[in-house]
Amino acid sequence: MDEILPHYTEIIDGNLFWDGTNILEVAKDYGTPFIIYSENILRGNYRKIKNAFNKYFKNVSIDFAIKSNFNPSLISILSSEGCGMDASSVNEIKIALLSGVSPDNISFTPNNVTIEELKFAIDKNITINFDSLSQFRMVLDHLPEIVSFRIKIDYGKGEFPGIKTAGKGAKFGEIPELALQGYREAKEKGCRRFGIHVMAGSNVRNADHFKLVAQKILEVVKNFEEELGIEFEFVDMGGGFGVPYRPEEGELDVMDTAKNIADVFKAFYTEKGREIPRLVIEPGRYISSNSGLLVGKITDVKRQESNFTGTDIGMNILMRPALYGAYHHILIANRMNEERKFKTDVTGQICENTDRIGKDVMLQEPQIGDIVAVFNCGAYTMSMASNYNGRLLPMELLISDGKLITIREKDNFQDIVRHTKFYESAKTLKD
């Protein structure tokens, strides 16, 4: 049976090409490890989800979840498409602002932040989706123009327990009774503009999930509006739009997803005799995931009770397999015409036994020096990478108009010791 290849890949003379680019040549020219992104794919993903929601909603804002990838070049590309941004920290807000996104196209959905972070957003006129009544009360005397709470509905679903972001046991959002109290206090303080937010889970490829979330949040909208005599001017459904990590998996149908949500909204607001308010969505992974490829080198092959293929791209760069048991598709870029008959774990250079980027993977017979390509590394890869074991963060490249540009230089040794002091020099500075 012919192998199913991930989208945007081709094999030419046994070598892997991705988005028209010869990955081996890039590896030779730049050295590994690196993450390479495709401007085409990034823009295409955004347009696909935008077109789907524009078809069913008159008023919709799409805010890219910066946490999935905060490289400013990628943020600027999305901003040039008219995409807004959702930030989870002040630094993400700053990146959005520096990349040319205007404050009214930025939302801020943090948790457990300090009063300074909340005030920073308020002073910039950025909409905050408050995570709790107590966080909201920290700024009671400095209220934003619009008050919105992230509601913890009684339902959540994620590909892994670790990425379920609502429902019992989730750390995010406020329970409806306490959020209601928050809106009441905002109203008493003179606030007249309100929004509401929900985010029920991540990497969901089933369009019915979003219908259920829409129903759940609109039940809350109904109760709160009746109780408080207010009207919400936006409903933010968060992100969670899933992507296939295995080439044989099906895609989330975003048209169906948008239609599902729209059906629920239409029925609800028709009964109320009102226009559907602005819908906000915050996709991260859907836009960025398959726009990035992680490329590394095979640095060892151990043939033991099981096989271990060592690489220079371990959990320090791609944390998801170690953290959640996530699957990422791996190919040996220079052996694409050979049969996959070598069963192996693919590991990194980190001193942790969980340092695997693939478990029981069938690969072509590997050799030290081969080049490996790991798919779906545009989301939650670089943004979750670390310097563990003193390893350097990789460089980031972008395929733009058929040319390669560097959008992040590789770290160097100075970068990892820059803010630390060697003991003797620390003592000298102190004296």
The residue number whose beta carbon is nearest to ligand LLP equals 239
Identify which range of 138-146, 210-218, 234-242, 389-397 contacts ligand LLP by CB under 6 A: 234-242
Nearest distance in Å: CB 380, ligand LLP: 3
Query: Residue 240, annotated ligand binder?
Result: yes
Identify which range of 42-50, 115-123, 197-205, 246-254 contacts ligand LLP by CB under 6 A: 197-205
Identify which range of 27-35, 74-82, 232-240, 269-277 contacts ligand LLP by CB under 6 A: 232-240
Round to whole Å and give the CA distance between 123 and 338. Answer: 59
Secondary structure of residue 144 in the 3-state scheme = coil
Residue 195 or residue 283: which is nearer to ligand LLP going by CB?
283
240 sits near ligand LLP (criterion: CB under 6 A): yes
Residue 16 or residue 326: which is nearer to ligand LLP going by CB?
326
Residue 259 or residue 285: which is nearer to ligand LLP going by CB?
285
Query: Residue 284, annotated ligand binder?
Result: yes
Which of 33, 156, 238, 394 touches ligand LLP by CB under 6 A?
238
165 sits near ligand LLP (criterion: CB under 6 A): yes
Which of 19, 92, 117, 282 touches ligand LLP by CB under 6 A?
282
Round to whole Å and give the CA distance between 320 and 323. Answer: 5
Query: Residue 192, annotated ligand binder?
Result: no
Site string for ligand LLP, 308-327 (x = CB under 6 A): ------------x-------
Nearest distance in Å: CB 250, ligand LLP: 17
380 sits near ligand LLP (criterion: CB under 6 A): yes
61 sits near ligand LLP (criterion: CB under 6 A): no
Catalytic annotation on 351? yes
Secondary structure of residue 90 in the 3-state scheme = helix
86 sits near ligand LLP (criterion: CB under 6 A): yes
Query: Residue 188, annotated ligand binder?
Result: no
202 sits near ligand LLP (criterion: CB under 6 A): yes
Q: Which residues are annotated as a binding site?
A: 240, 282-285, 320, 324, 352, 380
Binding residues for ligand LLP (CB under 6 A): 65, 68, 86, 109, 163, 165, 199, 202-203, 238-241, 282-286, 320, 380
Which residues are tagged catalytic? 351
Q: Which residues are annotated as a binding site for substrate?
A: 285, 320, 324, 352, 380
